[in-house]
Structure 1
């Protein structure tokens, strides 16, 4: 008889090998290959089990829908992303880079919910209760209905839930909690899977909403097994730049609402503050018209935001001129420069360094900002300042046409609400016509000097 060999299997994709490896050769995940615990070649059969009377399948019309109403958390921007509030029994995963403010945001959510009379249990598996208490005192998140515990064992956390009987449970974070029913260290795929599945099962059985904090890897994805994102009901991403105080929260998955909303926050010394109207955050404060600037109306989820694009064009004798961008896609900027050289009568751009950036640290990833980038580059090239009342949005094709973008009516309405009377969009026709129209309305450098003097 042949000697049985042990098999190792990937918990993510099911790939198997005869020896242990640190990285799965199929899905390229680290730490997911574990001992299968059984001999290869043995097939076990699974027998059917009759369901109980309460779990028997029934016509869908006879099943009660239950309560799926959204209960506001007290933070409007957070409720906007969730679809109106927190649903009973929902499992919400909040991910983000270290130091972005995940714990501060959830502590503020816990305080707002506790202020409405609902009991909240905040479990910190990374900090001590004294550290969380110090931050809560600084941000004003102290309330009698907010209970705090520092635990890393899953069984103890469940005991805290039985004792406190909260109406909202917050666990910070799911990667630092371990269960005795699973082998391995906290954060490993098996541990994360066991902890998440248990907490989600408790949430569904007790109609208890659970907020989980998730760590991210160096490439920005959520740490742990991919199954974690499938188990939860809502996946939110909290992002922001360390150099700015602005923070955004987006819903990557939402079973109870839309996934195209975005919430805006600002980190201050007293905690995190929501920004209901961020219209002025991405515009410069200069009252004097400066060449190389143009305002576009970007769409973040369902929210239209005015963003100022700045460009600087400097002559160079280098054989390869520089193209430096910040906040926009470098490949799209290179394409726009090529279109301007060929279609908009700006052939000298190949002899100049081009710098393009956005104001306020916002990132423009949609093609609707193409026309504003083109107008800003042309304005910097010809040294003619675009007036403050002009805004531009539209996608530029390789043929030099200005193509329509999504939600154009909403963008125009927001631009007119903010005082932009001249709007360049798809009605301008070609990029050459749009640039010439902007240059006609632009102010020459001599007129700007006289205007600044008076």
Structure 2
């Protein structure tokens, strides 16, 4: 008979103690320490599901031999071949594809498209492996704890992910999930989601810290022992952090955040943790009724017009800058509207820009360029949900405001990159060469930038260095 032990555990960080406390000493959160009962088999042997062997009982001499210490020079890595997901953007975020035996956690807000992305990935992998002529080893297993098989089938039909060797299962029992993986031995296994799977060997409700830890540990053990990559969907809390204990992020190999604005179709996939690749890459996707499409060149999403076009006159109140998201340089068009205020307190409405920075830049513009906008209503926005909150966007924001206030348009082939200090100086931005090369690729002819520490030469792009805000505006608005 199992012996039950009572402990208290923090739902945020997983810290445990034998006595209850009001505040977790590990993470400092109040009211997160809760009582839980964990059943521990007295024999020390893990109970197996019907028709399968438990993890403890399945340990053999070969397992011990495989875990034996060896010199690092004798370990072969050439046989490790990454599995492509069918999305080049997804592969780049993962570091070149899915590593066999890895466990990847995909987290995001409800309705953002996590299940759609992984179901479409499952269809891509099943289609690719089937083209190679493999049968059983090429199956892809999709296990849903939130939807029935018929519901998943309807969504797969809508996004064109129906493949003969894509296996669907609907269950919330952990033993059944592990049994399906061991039975089918798929090329890729997807579990949607970690908070809905329940283990009968431990106490606690589904989604609780105890259950999530047990589910993650069991799936990681199975993935490593059978060399099967596993995608695990994770829910998020109201503050945007991954639900469950903090140890969940420590256990898995890769943690990706799928995010986006519900008002736009743009979706961004970021790697927060990656044991097999960089953590500063970002993938761009477009959400539609037919599924998710990757956006290999997102430049057109954030620009209102083509800088090479000659049939359209420039519009006042707009300026283009370049921000960095990981290793990717993205063009952002900043639009500004300045009107006379009829309110006692002028209005400041922004979208995609830091509101507090607008107030600071307005004061700097008045003090060092003699352009008084303090009594005007200011409206600043970006296009297609782009974010211009990086300090390197200061010069473009100020240029757009000055252009709108003076009714002098900025040339469409001109961009502005630089941070503005309170003294009115234009300061350099990090990785300037990445931004300038992207500007030249998109057809921009002139870039107003701060003084360079070392000379940079970009073919087809003329660099105009401006050390002060007044000099930069004189160049942009002439």
Does 1:389 find its partner at 2:413? yes
Conserved? CA contact 1:32–1:189, under 8 Å: no
Conserved? CA contact 2:301–2:384, under 8 Å: yes
| Deviation digits for residues 82-112 of structure 1 (CA, Å, limit 9, x no counterpart) | 1111110111010111111111100110011
The equivalent of 1:210 in structure 2 is 230
Does 1:368 find its partner at 2:406? no
Distance in 1 (CA, whole Å) between partners of 2:102 and 2:7 is 37
Paired residue secondary structure (1:291): coil
Distance in 1 (CA, whole Å) between partners of 2:85 and 2:290 is 19
Does 1:71 find its partner at 2:83? yes
Does 1:97 find its partner at 2:97? no
Q: Within 5 Å, which residues of 2 pair with 1:6-17?
A: 8-10=8-10, 12=13, 14=15, 16=17
| Deviation digits for residues 55-83 of structure 1 (CA, Å, limit 9, x no counterpart) | 45454444455744422111111111111
Distance in 2 (CA, whole Å) between partners of 1:415 and 1:428 is 18
Distance in 2 (CA, whole Å) between partners of 1:179 and 1:35 is 14
Distance in 1 (CA, whole Å) between partners of 2:36 and 2:222 is 29
The equivalent of 1:86 in structure 2 is 98
Change (3 A) 1:64 1:219: same
What TM-score does the superposition give when structure 1 sets the normalisation length?
Answer: 0.87
Change (3 A) 1:99 1:231: same
Does 1:113 find its partner at 2:138? no
The equivalent of 1:266 in structure 2 is 286
Change (3 A) 1:179 1:20: farther
Distance in 2 (CA, whole Å) between partners of 1:68 and 1:437 is 54
Aligned residues: 422
Does 1:419 find its partner at 2:443? yes
Change (3 A) 1:265 1:56: closer
Conserved? CA contact 2:393–2:418, under 8 Å: yes
Does 1:324 find its partner at 2:349? yes
Conserved? CA contact 2:105–2:232, under 8 Å: yes
Distance in 1 (CA, whole Å) between partners of 2:166 and 2:16 is 45
Q: Which segment drifts farther, 334-343 or 243-252?
A: 334-343
Change (3 A) 1:262 1:19: closer
Distance in 1 (CA, whole Å) between partners of 2:16 and 2:360 is 42
Conserved? CA contact 1:371–1:396, under 8 Å: yes
The Cα shift of 1:327 comes to 0.5
Q: Within 5 Å, which residues of 2 pair with 1:251-400?
A: 251-285=271-305, 287-346=312-371, 348-400=372-424
Distance in 1 (CA, whole Å) between partners of 2:209 and 2:324 is 37
Match of 2:175 among 118, 133, 155: 155
Conserved? CA contact 2:36–2:204, under 8 Å: no
Q: Which segment drifts farther, 332-341 or 56-65?
A: 56-65
Q: Which segment drifts farther, 234-243 or 333-342?
A: 333-342
Distance in 2 (CA, whole Å) between partners of 1:154 and 1:218 is 26
Structure 2 unaligned residues grouped into runs of 5+ = 1-5, 40-62, 130-137, 307-311, 451-464
Distance in 1 (CA, whole Å) between partners of 2:128 and 2:289 is 25
The Cα shift of 1:279 comes to 1.1
| Deviation digits for residues 209-252 of structure 1 (CA, Å, limit 9, x no counterpart) | 00011101111100000101111111111111111111111111
Conserved? CA contact 1:123–1:172, under 8 Å: yes
The equivalent of 1:169 in structure 2 is 189
The equivalent of 1:33 in structure 2 is 34
Distance in 2 (CA, whole Å) between partners of 1:126 and 1:36 is 26
The Cα shift of 1:289 comes to 2.2
Does 1:431 find its partner at 2:469? yes
The Cα shift of 1:17 comes to 7.6
Distance in 2 (CA, whole Å) between partners of 1:134 and 1:13 is 38
Change (3 A) 1:237 1:179: same
| Deviation digits for residues 407-426 of structure 1 (CA, Å, limit 9, x no counterpart) | 21121121122121111111
Conserved? CA contact 1:15–1:24, under 8 Å: no
Conserved? CA contact 1:24–1:33, under 8 Å: no
What TM-score does the superposition give when structure 2 sets the normalisation length?
Answer: 0.83
The equivalent of 2:204 in structure 1 is 184
Paired residue secondary structure (1:350): coil
| Deviation digits for residues 270-291 of structure 1 (CA, Å, limit 9, x no counterpart) | 1111111111111125934221
Distance in 1 (CA, whole Å) between partners of 2:443 and 2:65 is 65
Paired residue secondary structure (2:195): helix
The equivalent of 1:122 in structure 2 is 142
Conserved? CA contact 1:126–1:173, under 8 Å: yes
Paired residue secondary structure (2:167): strand
